[in-house]
Amino acid sequence: MNNLVKKWNSSDEDVKNVVHGVILLVMFAFIAAGSSQIIANVSDGIVSATFFPFLVAGLGIGLSLTLVGTNLYHILKRRHKAEARPKTEPPRTCWGMIGASVLFMGIYFSLMNILGFVVSSVLYLFAQIIVLQDEKNKKTMLITALISILVPAALFIPFRYIFGIRLPLGIFTGIWG
């Protein structure tokens, strides 16, 4: 990783974002390939649950490409600057972050049917943001907690009540089911 940072004349953060974006792009490409056998039913303007894998794969590929493209742009922009950058602390490797991300994703998928989409997503997002966050203080922890709660709720409501797609409820099956 350090050689890439030196070779690309970029910040460690940009290189990490490109690596994470490529990993996510590959993951969403597998989801797209796996869902290519599914026939999405759309009748009378109503989308069935079979459309969900296409939606996830498409959004994921789009966001991954945006992440990679944006950070490659930053890398190329810095590379073409003639000014010398001020010396900062040596970049750290991100293999621990990548390993933790893959582990969290596995735990997230394992707990999805047990805890349900909302609870498992809250836990996953909180853990994932904490791992990727450089600065950890009360303010960032509060913002992380709010994001971790609001994003799954904001995703659950439209999928459940607009698209009619039943996401796993887990322990809340008796309440919302």
Q: How many CA atoms lie within 13 A of 19 on its CB side?
A: 17
Instruction: Determine whether 48 is exposed, middle or buried from the number of CB atoms within 10 Å of its CB (0-12, 13-18, 19+).
Output: middle
Band of the pLDDT at 173, cuts 50, 70, 90? confident
Report the domain count for the chain.
2
Rounded CA separation 71/59 (Å): 18
69-111 residue pLDDT tens: 888 887 777 776 644 455 565 555 577 778 888 899 899 989 8
pLDDT reported for residue 122: 94
Domain that holds residue 6: 1-91
Rounded CA separation 81/17 (Å): 20
Going 68 to 72 to 73 to 74, the CA torsion angle's sign is: positive
Co-location of 3 and 81 in the same domain? yes
Co-location of 99 and 74 in the same domain? no
23-69 residue pLDDT tens: 888 888 888 787 777 776 666 667 666 777 777 878 888 888 888 88
Among 3, 51, 6, 56, which Cα is nearest to 27's? 56
Which of 91, 116, 135 is the endpoint of a domain? Answer: 91
Co-location of 98 and 177 in the same domain? yes
Q: How many CA atoms lie within 13 A of 126 on its CB side?
A: 13
pTM value is: 0.52
115-141 residue pLDDT tens: 988 999 999 999 998 888 877 888 889
Co-location of 78 and 98 in the same domain? no
Co-location of 86 and 3 in the same domain? yes
Which of 50, 71, 91 is the endpoint of a domain? Answer: 91
pLDDT reported for residue 143: 92
pLDDT reported for residue 86: 56
pLDDT reported for residue 120: 93
Which of 56, 91, 126 is the endpoint of a domain? Answer: 91
* Mean pLDDT, rounded, for 10-32: 80
